[in-house]
Amino acid sequence: MKILYICTHNRCRSILSEAITNHLSDGRVQAYSAGSQPVGEVHPLSIKYLAELDMNTQGLKSQSWSEFEAEQPDVVVTVCDSAAREACPVWFGDTVKVHWPLPDPSKLEGSDDEVREAFMAVMNTIKKRVQILLNTPLKGLSKTEQQAVLQQCIGSELDTRM
């Protein structure tokens, strides 16, 4: 399964989602991330906190969703509200699309501890959603059923202990 995470600037939440998904899936899922208006660099704290949790940060970069025109993702997940409101490129076709909203920890102004806590909270939310995804059989389901199951990951994460 190929998952493309989209956030407008592709510098924090989508990057975190890509790295965490690839780490947890052990090759069962290929995750990528992109933005509709990428800023061209990954937020340094995204790299710092991923590395702190021993997650691979090699190859993470802020890039446009047009970079993935040749790749046909099975699932497109928007992680910021502005990206969720944008019209997806036509080449996404009938790909399953879901919105997994996440707060942006890179915009928090506070102490180092407060910022670290915000990043860790977002990363834990992503971990929970990805674990639910990995434990949910999607093969054999229609695209509508897949979308419903993937959307339920948001509510189900509250019941999952990591």
Does residue 78 register a pLDDT over 70?
Answer: yes
Topology of domain 2-159, CATH: Rossmann fold (3.40.50)
Long-range pairs of 137-146 with CB within 8 A, sequence gap ≥ 24: 138/1, 143/94, 143/96, 146/75, 146/96
Q: What is the pLDDT of residue 88?
A: 55
Grouping H, G, I as helix, E, B as strand and the rest as coil, residue 80 is coil
Q: How far apart are CA 53 and CA 51, in angstroms?
A: 5
Asked whether the beta carbons of 11 and 41 are under 8 A apart, the reply is yes
Does residue 89 register a pLDDT over 70?
Answer: no
- Tens digits of per-residue pLDDT, 61-73? 999 988 887 888 8
Asked whether the beta carbons of 7 and 14 are under 8 A apart, the reply is yes
Does residue 156 register a pLDDT over 90?
Answer: no
To the question of pTM greater than 0.85 for the whole model, the response is yes
Partners of 32 in the beta sheet? Answer: 4
